[in-house]
Amino acid sequence: MDNLTHSLVGLTAAKAGLERFSAYATTVCVISANVADADFLSLFFGDRWTLLQHHRGLTHSLVGTVGIALLVPTVAFLIERIFCRIRGSAPRIRFGGLLLVSSVAATTHPFMDWTNNYGVRPLLPWSERWFYGDLVFIVDPYIWLGLGAVAFLLSSDKRWKIYGWSVIGLIATLVLLAASRQPGLGTRAVRIALAVWLTGVLTIITLRVFRRQRHFAGGTAKAALALLVLYWSVLGLAHRAASAQAIKVANSIAAVRAERVIRMATMPSEASPFRWQSVAETDSAFYKFSVVLEREHSPADGGDVARFQKPGGQEAELISQAEQDRRAQALLGFARFPFATVSSDDCVSQALVQFADLRYTEPGRGRGNFSVNIPVDCPSR
């Protein structure tokens, strides 16, 4: 999930009662809920392929979570002791309480990341296996709104905090507005989410203006976290129904071509529990399609299904050669549905092998972390 979501989870957890365990518990909650993404620093020691290789790596594992849970309160404890010695004041931190707070907050990060289709590797360094929850899109405006409303009303007790929250709210609104205008993301679901967001923001502002936040307490934060769990449960039921529908679609597609489905995944789409993206692999090809729960019929026979034929012959030989490239290895180590194709059928001197993770893109499209083009020399004839 994005770092705004992680921060809101940490802050809401603090307001739900964790802040009572020690001084600076709220700060430690927010920091511990985000520290796992420190693996982004790997970008400064390499390139975007280094980041792809290490992101959601060791810091998101069970070992990393324990390390973060210990590290953050220890650093806070030492910093406070140094300042107390300089100022001659008494320390306020209760290390045991801060350790408990940090442990809870640090655990929320890999769990939240598991809920989307990007995946986590909790068993590192012993196993590179990825685990996917496939419940929530990587950015969810409804989580922003639910947790953000409660966190704002419970923490906007000073003017500088109100200014800070205003900046965060403005940025989030601009992000949703931009997403609603993009052809690839400007779906009805995103526009509905934007309308709900604007209505929610206006409601929150009204409550704050009339000082209704005084009626909110720790129980409200607990209720917000409970609603988050309920939201996941509803998405879980929707995912189960969408997966069953996607399996029928995949099997019907494969049957037409006398193929056999090997594996598949049904993944969330932006801002909608009704529309799901599916990728299915058969013994001959990959298929990419959408399923919509509110429809009675799936696009099993229509043009909404994209087919990617698995390469063979000389193409497979060229792809095998391109797989030795460091960039390709980084992408293949991450990709859940890796696919490669050769851009030219007539290889004379050099060919371009295009790799992509079909979850996010197709070969030859974009320059993000989810596709790469590798030039290779043609085999001698």
Candidate from 84-93, 174-183, 266-275 with smallest mean pLDDT = 174-183
pTM: 0.90
Q: Which of 83-97, 215-229, 231-245, 298-312 is least confident?
A: 298-312
Is residue 300's pLDDT more than 80? no
- pLDDT, averaged across the chain: 89
Tens digits of residue pLDDT in 313-349: 888 888 999 999 999 999 999 999 999 998 865 666 7
> CA 203 to CA 113: how far, in whole Å?
29
E-strand ranges in 94-233 read none
Laid out side by side, the sheet with 350-357 consists of 338-342, 350-357, 371-377
* pLDDT score, position 110: 96
DSSP category for residue 215: G
The predicted structure's pLDDT at residue 184: 57
Judge contact between 19 and 220, C-beta under 8 A.
Answer: no
How much is the average pLDDT of 167-191?
81
| 196 pLDDT above the threshold of 50 | yes
- Beta-carbon contacts of 298 under 8 Å, excluding residues fewer than 6 positions away, are 245, 246, 248, 249, 289, 291, 292
Measured CA to CA, the distance from residue 52 to residue 335 in angstroms comes to 10
291 bridge partner residues: 276
- Helices 3-15 & 218-256 angle (0-180, nearest 10): 140
Res 381 pLDDT > 70: no
The 10 Å Cβ neighbour count of residue 323 is 17
Tell how strand 350-357 and strand 338-342 pair up.
Answer: antiparallel
User: In the chain, how long is the greatest CA-to-CA distance?
Assistant: 81
Poorest-pLDDT segment among 129-143, 288-302, 355-369: 288-302
Separation of CA 71 from chain center: 24
Write the pLDDT tens digit of every residue in 14-71: 999 999 999 999 999 999 999 999 998 988 888 888 988 889 999 999 999 999 999 9
How high is the pLDDT of residue 348? 66
pLDDT above 70 coverage of the chain, percent: 92
Report the pLDDT averaged over residues 77-102: 92
Choice between 175 and 300, residue whose per-residue pLDDT is larger? 175
CA separation for the pair 85, 91 (Å, rounded): 9
pLDDT in tens, 107-155: 999 999 999 999 999 999 999 999 999 999 999 999 999 999 999 989 8
